[in-house]
Amino acid sequence: MFYITEVEDYVRVDPKLFGLPTAEAVFKQLLETYNNYYDKEIGRVISVIEVLKIGDGVIIPGDGAAYYESRFKLLVWRPQLHELVYCTVDEITNFGAFMNLGVTKGLIHIGQTMDDFVSLSKTSTLTGKKTKRSLKKGDNCLARIVAISHKGGDLKIGLTMRQPGLGKLEWIKEDQAYKDKEAKKVAREEQKEAKTSKSKTPKGGKK
């Protein structure tokens, strides 16, 4: 999920930025420091929104940079277990598919791509044996996060599409169209039974 979070920290401003106004130098340094930054507690930093406060600069002996105690806002993304995410197939492998979530990547095991027996074709496509549904690079999908790992310091996300309402967007539309069709069919049958039952009801007469 996306969040706006406030952080208070000392920002090390590189000497190459000393010619700029302090506020601009701190902001530029934050953009560089938090570029493609990920932290288990904070999340994946998408952007530095604004600098809220800058204290006096401090120079540490032996380090030519200046340190400013600052408070600033970040736009971040933190994965949550069971969160639904839109994603795109980035790569097909013999064990599953790597999915691009926009801000990071996730892995969906071949057995979690669909509720079917799935195999890899020669054209690098994952295909269901019964449904004949296929998954290939570039397909847009809706998946659920079922595993989050920080082993080795790297973020690893496990996904599934076997649950109802998940999968390639085309599959979801097909399933919904089928449900709507069945619902209309049931409604017609119920109306038909109601009319039949009404016609068989004996009419009362006067003595």
The pLDDT tens digits for 167-178 are: 999 999 999 998
The pLDDT tens digits for 48-71 are: 999 999 999 888 888 889 999 999
Phi, psi of 181 (to 5 degrees): -65, -45
- Token pair for residue 191? 């109306």
Mind listing the domains of the chain with CATH numbers? Answer: 2-77 (3.30.1490.120), 84-170 (2.40.50.140)
Closest CA to 79 of 133, 20, 159: 159
Helix (H, G, I), strand (E, B) or coil at 84: strand
pTM (two decimals): 0.78
What's the whole-number mean pLDDT along residues 5-10?
95
CB 42 within 8 A of CB 73: no
pLDDT value at position 203? 61
Q: What is the mean pLDDT of the chain?
A: 91
What's the whole-number mean pLDDT along residues 114-132?
93
- Token pair for residue 95? 């064990």
The full DSSP string for 129-184 is TTT--EE-TT-EEEEEEEEEE-GGG--EEEEE--STT-EEHHHHHHHHHHHHHHHH
The pLDDT tens digits for 177-187 are: 988 898 898 88
Q: How far is CA 24 from the centre of its chain?
A: 33
The pLDDT tens digits for 8-41 are: 999 999 999 999 999 999 999 999 999 989 988 8
CB 75 within 8 A of CB 46: yes
Q: State the chain's maximal CA–CA distance in angstroms.
A: 115
pLDDT value at position 188? 87
